[in-house]
Amino acid sequence: MNQYHIYEAIGRGKYSTVYKGRKKKTIEYSAIKSVDKSQKNKILQEVRILHSLDHPNVLKFYSWYETSAHLWLVLEYCVGGDLMSILRQDGKLPEDSIHDLASDLVRALQYLHSKGIIYCDLKPSNILLDENGHIKLCDFELARKLSEISKTNSSAPQTKRGTPCYMAPELFKDDGIHSYASDMWALGCVLYECFVGRPPFMGREFTQLVKSILSDPTPILPGSPSRPFVNLINSLLVKDPAERIQWPELCGHAFWRTKITPVSLPPQPAFANLINQHSKPCLSERNGEKLAPNRTPPKCREKDAKGTLRQNENSAFGSSKNETLVKGTPGSQKTQSKVSSKVVEEKKLKENPSASKGVNLLRLSRIAKSNLQRENDKENYRRPVSGNSENDSEVELKNTDMELDFNENVEDESHDEPDESDNINGNQEDKTSNDNHQARMEEAQNMGGDLSDYSPAVNINASDLSNKHDQESPLVRTEVVGTSPSASPQLKNQRTKEGSTYALDTDSSKSSNNLSEFFWHQSDLSVKPVMPSKKADKMSDVNPTILPFEGLQAPDFVKMPKEWQDATSSKIIATLSGNTSVGEKQNMIRYLEMLSNNADAANILTNGPVMLMLVKMLKQSKVLQLRVQLTSLIGLLIRHSTFIDNDLANSGLLFSLTDGLRDKQEKVRRFSMAALGELLFYISTQEEHNSNANPLESPLKETRSPTGWQVPNSLISLVSSILRKGEDDLTQLYALRTIENICSQGAIWASRFTSQDVISNLCYIYRASGKSENIRLTAGSCLVRLVRFNPSCIQSVTDKLSSKDMACALVKGNPREQQITLNLLNMIMVGGNGRDDFQITLLRVIESITEEFSVILENPEIFVHKILPSLAVLYKGNKDGDARFLCLKILFDAMVIFLNEPSLDGQRLEDLKQIANLHFLPLYPALIEDDDPIPMYAQKLLVMLIECNYIKISDILHLKTISQCFEFLLGDLSNANVSSVKLCLALASAPEMESRILSQLKVVRRIGILLEFVYAKDMEDFLEPTLGLCRALLLRSVSCRKGFIYSKEPFLLGDGTPEQKVLVNQLECIRDISDFGNNLGVLLELSGSSEANIADIASECVVFLVTAAPREGTTGLLTNLHKVSVILESWRRGGCLLLVQRMLHSLGYACRQYLAHAMILSLSISEISRIEAIISDIKSSSTPRLANDAMLVAMELQRLHRCI
């Protein structure tokens, strides 16, 4: 991957992240998919398929790479995103757009089918679009080859996994298989969703959805779709796959503007066999075969008057009465009782034996839910399943993109880790270990409570399982919930002591006990086996002929009489310690590994002489492979044992495994760490601590426990040192799991790992992007447990993990990462620096959420009614400047998102107006006087709210607010922001604003200076609002003249007679408006601007200025005749006539004023002559009004010329 630059993430899945990338020294951009290595088999399957494809409508595959923790796929980069995002933004698409999209989709599917590949997962999220709007099919993890489907035993259920909303009806049946027809159904669902905005069949729960797919007719397309499009949808969504439209009909369908050329397709023997089993003569005829005598094809494709396809009621795959195990369908009169839904399903199975060939909804739902739970375990989503479901087998579907697994025997697919332990992310636990660890935790309980309190906690979160990438067949992960924070495990003699609780060693834990009970869940202390498992009950790796006894399976071994077991143990020891060959010793160890998976056998071997022999061999053996196998066997025995005799503490086992951690061979270190992790966790569950009776003098004090096991500080330090950079990833994972498990046992053990080095290393691993997700999240779990039992170290964690890091993890991380982050946030509030740290962190979390506009728009109620009003309350009186700024910035960002959303309903508009007027506006005086950049954000938000009519000018018309708005003019103009100018413009333009208030402020001269400054510095963003502000003030002064009527066209020249004195309302006049006379030169230059809007406003300002302040305007105009001549000359180049007309009126009016008031100015005769020549040409204009104005101005210039 060193050949690529990797940029931002553009997509995330459960086990993968997709980045935008660029090949070094090129401009070739790619999509680079990073996949957790645990998914290697599935990814290689996708790579094999992608590598064989080359089509313009299939995502191009370039190459793939393998690193220590990830697989990297380099794919074609599509800038248009996926179709699901487009539908979420636009709701639905017009039929013309759907035609082009559908044409691409059909060609892509046709190509795949011609290659013998069934796509199996067609849905909007798997359809990408390039820069030209052409589609690209992506994500081939579920795609299957026809050759693979045909090889599957017809009597065995087919492997099925998919997105239920787009799955064909036949795929929910036991004998249903993927075929061309199932892809056709998915195509119909996608096209229907493009037109309507949702899939044709939907349901909140899985069984409800499947019932709809099996029984409900295809919904009628709303609006006015074309008849060919309606026919295409209905033909694709035929429930019987034998009657569904086939490729020859699809290619020649009337919907296509250009016919699609048919291609040769490989046969589907498995699908053909299925159809034959259901005795469908109609299909034989359609395939060109002659019907047998006395057999008549059913009317399987009749159409009603509207062109809608009628379904064959007797179809083997339709909603036949003999096959649908559903009551309460649209044709039913009664509704089933909710309380007895499970009983009803089971009763229907008994009553209808023929349904076994149909759809068993109850069974399917249970399988899907079971697999979801396993996937949650696999990802360690450690939150409990809601227990109030009416049907414990029901699966809730929270979105249409949710993928489910319907494979019943997923346990058989779990990948046991080999001896080399190369697979860091592979789930190394099996179902047997779950029972044994559960038994150990049953011994560990001292609360006297129900054993169910210690059952593994899992969570089904449909939204988290709906990602389109990396939905793999789940591997089994064993998780056992550790002790509660208020209970110390007391396992001695396997008895439960009542009242044996201890308190946390900090005052904060005592004072916040109720909070802790609220914040924490028992799943936060779940533990996982450290030692990787071996394949259980497999004698295939053992050579029974060289064993000195009969190689019994584990169940038979444990049933042997005691004397026989002793004899067998003696023979085992003799083989391991005698002069036998290394091969015989290895064969014996493999046999013992097989036995170790049984808990009873593991107890016998661990607590007998065999373990002592293994420890002795481990100390003495020089053969690498033997040492690897010995450490592995010891680890397996400890892992699967439910109890370990105290006498083993004197065997030297602990120190032998410690020496293994220092071994030069990587494999020995790996298994030594895993075995040591299992042993240390067992020891931690045996320790008796009662902090009230025997307060701990020092967390690092070495004491021998009553069980005889002693764990020195040097061993704790050695385990901790494995967390440093450069250590083997797998060894590091085992060390992390060891710390994670041990720290679940309470403050005493957690304190032994609480050091600056450990916390620093854990924080580094948690944030390291190069580490596998399993390693990172295990490190995060360790951090949570350390700070939980040692709240004082939370500061060390927050020093390494910034608030921004935690906020991003909470917003963009997976559920387990979110859980870790929430736990850390809780500890910041409870055990950190308290309210201030928590406040800042929480605000940063919300700030990050506002970066995801879709989150806000999908949850408007929470923001409008909860978060935004709370921000105003939090701002008031807050002494932390950062907190105040974040309050305003979040309010600003959220309001911008809402203001830019065109489809807000009336109630939402009213809610936002209340936010603006009741929460933001009262804070504005304080905001504008706060530290930078708070005033700038406040002004920008106020301007937007005024422009959108959320706030009225009348609501802010008091002198203090107005003076604050214009205050920036008195300071350094280089620090001004455009929002300040826009706000002043809004005030000056508002009819509610009294001119006398503006007169009192005396800001005209400062605004003129601002105009000169903006023009000189070429500040384009400021220019138009500044000119608009000048215009607003000038218009106020002009409009106070009696009889004034505003018009875009000037009327200064009148009938050519000198102007009489005009009555002016002095109260409405801006008293210092004449100060703008100093800026008339700039206004003239701007009137000649190439920007039409700028020239329009500036020229209007010139007209208003000579009207409102005749003397100053006349002076400014006649002393800048060279600038006037430039504007007038634009007429010859086809310039704006209105602009030329305004200059003519202003010039003529100025000449009159000059002569009427006998003004004395130094005028240039040559410039006057030049203007006279230009005006002489304008008089010949074909526009009567312009020619007439030019004639009047020419007369005034002649008078002026004579006077000079």
Smallest Cα–Cα separation from 440: which of 610, 653, 644, 649? 644
Q: 281, exposed or middle or buried, with CB in 10 Å at 0-12, 13-18, 19+?
A: middle
Quickly list DSSP for 64-85.
EEE-SSEEEEEEE--TT-BHHH
Quickly list DSSP for 638-657.
HHH-S---GGGGGTTHHHHH
Cβ pair 609, 569 in contact under 8 A: yes
Q: Is 1040 helix (H, G, I), strand (E, B) or coil?
A: coil
Q: Is 665 helix (H, G, I), strand (E, B) or coil?
A: coil
Q: 299, exposed or middle or buried, with CB in 10 Å at 0-12, 13-18, 19+?
A: exposed
Structural tokens at position 843? 């605000």
Cα separation values, 903 from 85, 858, 900, 912, 917, Å: 17, 13, 9, 14, 22
Cβ pair 940, 896 in contact under 8 A: no
Q: Which residues are within 8 A (CB) of 102 and not within 5 positions of it... i.e. 6 or more apart?
A: 187, 191, 194, 232, 255
Q: What is the dihedral of CA 672, 673, 674, 677, to 10 degrees?
A: 120
Left if phi > 0, otherwise alpha if psi is -120 to 50, otherwise beta: which for 272?
A: alpha
Catalytic annotation, pick one of 104, 121, 183, 1075: 121
As a whole number of Å, the CA-based R_g of the chain is 41
Is the peptide bond preceding residue 933 cis, with omega within 30 degrees of 0?
A: yes
Query: How many angstroms separate the CA atoms of 602 and 597, rounded?
Result: 7
DSSP H/E element including 483: none
Q: Which residues are within 8 A (CB) of 757 and not within 5 positions of it... i.e. 6 or more apart?
A: 720
* DSSP class of 998: H
Query: How many angstroms separate the CA atoms of 229 and 256, rounded?
Result: 9
Query: How many angstroms separate the CA atoms of 599 and 431, rounded?
Result: 12
* DSSP class of 472: P
Amino acid at 831: G
Q: Is 1061 annotated as a binding residue?
A: no
N residues, the chain: 1204
Query: How many angstroms separate the CA atoms of 90 and 96, rounded?
Result: 15
Q: What is the 3-state secondary structure (H, E, C) of 179-205?
A: CHHHHHHHHHHHHHHHHHCCCCCCCCE
Determine the angle formed by the axes of helices 431-444 and 599-606, rounding to 10 degrees.
60
121 is catalytic: yes
Smallest Cα–Cα separation from 924: which of 896, 949, 891? 891
Q: 992, exposed or middle or buried, with CB in 10 Å at 0-12, 13-18, 19+?
A: exposed
Q: Report H helices in 771-802.
A: 773-789, 794-800
Angle at 963 between CA 961 and CA 966, to 5 degrees: 110
* 942-950, long-range: CB < 8 A, 24+ apart: 942/979, 942/983, 943/979, 943/982, 943/983, 943/986, 944/895, 944/896, 944/899, 945/895, 945/899, 945/916, 945/920, 946/983, 946/986, 947/986, 948/899, 950/899, 950/912, 950/913, 950/916, 950/917
Structural tokens at position 926? 């304080």
Query: How many angstroms separate the CA atoms of 157 and 270, rounded?
Result: 12
Which residues fall in the annotated binding site for ATP? 33
Which residues fall in the annotated binding site? 33
List active site positions.
Answer: 121
